[in-house]
Chain A
Amino acid sequence: MSNVFKKAMSLIVGDPSAVKLTVPKNRPLKKFTERELLQLESEIGSKLFGEVPAGHRREFFCLDATTWIWHEEWIDETKKRQQMTTRYEVHDNGVLKVQEGARYSYIEGAELQNLALAIRMYYEQVMRGVYKIDPHTGQKLA
């Protein structure tokens, strides 16, 4: 698990365990904690925005009903590690984008459309891939 993700997770949900999560085929899903399930979701979420550029690490996950988190870290041209954390808050009249340095704004246009599409794909893939539930019927997958 990346340092930025651990750091962000510790800020958001407490002290995370430093374990890279994958779903072993013979391990029952119910053995996971809520935090571990969230990390599994993020592994799917990180791939929703296309190929992650070489040298980048990306995390994207649903924190709660109204909050979505995006983390990205990369090495810049001076070989320094850079990171960015963005929190998207869903309100009745828009999505507020909150970044470090108290920067915040409602997103619009392509950014809003892309986020909406990513959230839809996240639901489809996380419900099937992590929770083994048909996203359309809500029924457990066989």
Chain B
Amino acid sequence: MSEKPLNYTSASAEIEADPLEFEETQIDLQKAGAGITSYEQGRALAQAAALAESRKPVEKHPTMFIEMKWVGGRVSEERHNLASQES
């Protein structure tokens, strides 16, 4: 059990600045949760955890997303071109 106090404000700021810190911060929050002794600490932890969750990074598949956009653009373009020929 960790008795080390956590600076919740600092943790929140870090998450906001860099969402990729989510996993490390989440671990820190779990450790900190074991040492909660007051309502204020609990509320601060809950707020920090909620912020961390909201900043959770999505899976990184840049090639997949590029392909999705390309397909969407290509189909839309063909649809528009074909309809324009008739108008």
Contact = CB atoms under 8 A, between A and B. Distances in A.
Interface of A: 29-34, 37-38, 41, 62-68, 90-95, 106-109, 112, 116, 119-120, 122-123, 126-127, 131, 133
A38 to B, nearest CB: 6
B58 A127 contact: no
A95 B65 contact: yes
B79 A90 contact: no
B31 to A, nearest CB: 25
A33 B65 contact: no
A95 B69 CA distance: 10
Contacts, number: 84
Chain B interface mostly: helix
Nearest to B56: A106
B78 A127 contact: yes
Given A37-B82, A94-B58, A64 B76 contact: yes
Nearest to B83: A34
A65 B83 contact: no
Contacts of A67: 72
A123 B75 contact: yes
A106 B65 CA distance: 12
A126 B75 contact: yes
Given A29-B82, A65-B73, A107-B58, 18 more contacts: A32-B82, A32-B86, A34-B83, A37-B79, A38-B79, A41-B75, A64-B76, A66-B69, A67-B72, A90-B72, A93-B60, A93-B62, A106-B58, A112-B61, A116-B64, A119-B72, A123-B75, A131-B78
